[in-house]
Amino acid sequence: MGSLLRTFEGGCHCGALGFSFQTALPVTGWSVRACQCGFCRGHGARTTSDPSGSLAFAVRQADALQRYRFGLMTADFLLCRGCGIYLGAQIATASGAFGIINTLALLPPPEGLPVAANADYGSESTSERIARRAQRWTPLTKLV
Ligand SMILES: [Zn+2]
């Protein structure tokens, strides 16, 4: 009994940046998080990942890619300089590169997306944060 891998495309508003997220999970089974940090609340971000899936960010216009680091400075949060959309984030760890997507940037918006669960990671140490992301985030084909 194999699950079918599906590809979900996303992108920023002006089209300079995009992503391709592959997962075998049904949309209704996605883990959708509303991180409560100031950055994610400011964007109203609703993120997801699948450790068994695959993720690739696409940079169609190199000068549009804004990487933003804050807090423990362990991940790049990826934004479009042209249109301001927050696409997702990437991290490089000893066990590989991983990422999350902002589900609000999925085009078209998938049906059946679960209501986001609030998440607060503010008390994590640097090593705890990296370990959580390596475990829960989606393997990246490459860093951008
Ligand atoms: Zn854009």
Give the distance (Å) from ligand 1 centre to CA of residue 95: 30
Give the distance (Å) from ligand 1 centre to CA of residue 133: 26
DSSP for 12-31?
-SSSSEEEEEEESS-GGG--
Give the distance (Å) from ligand 1 centre to CA of residue 34: 22
Residues with CB under 5 A from ligand 1 (ion): 12, 14, 16, 80, 82-83
Give per-residue pLDDT as tens, 24-79. 999 999 999 999 999 999 999 999 999 999 999 999 999 999 999 999 999 999 99
* Prediction pTM value: 0.94
Smallest CA-to-CA distance from 31 within 100, 91, 78 is with 100
Q: Is 4 exposed, middle or buried (0-12, 13-18, 19+ CB in 10 A)?
A: exposed
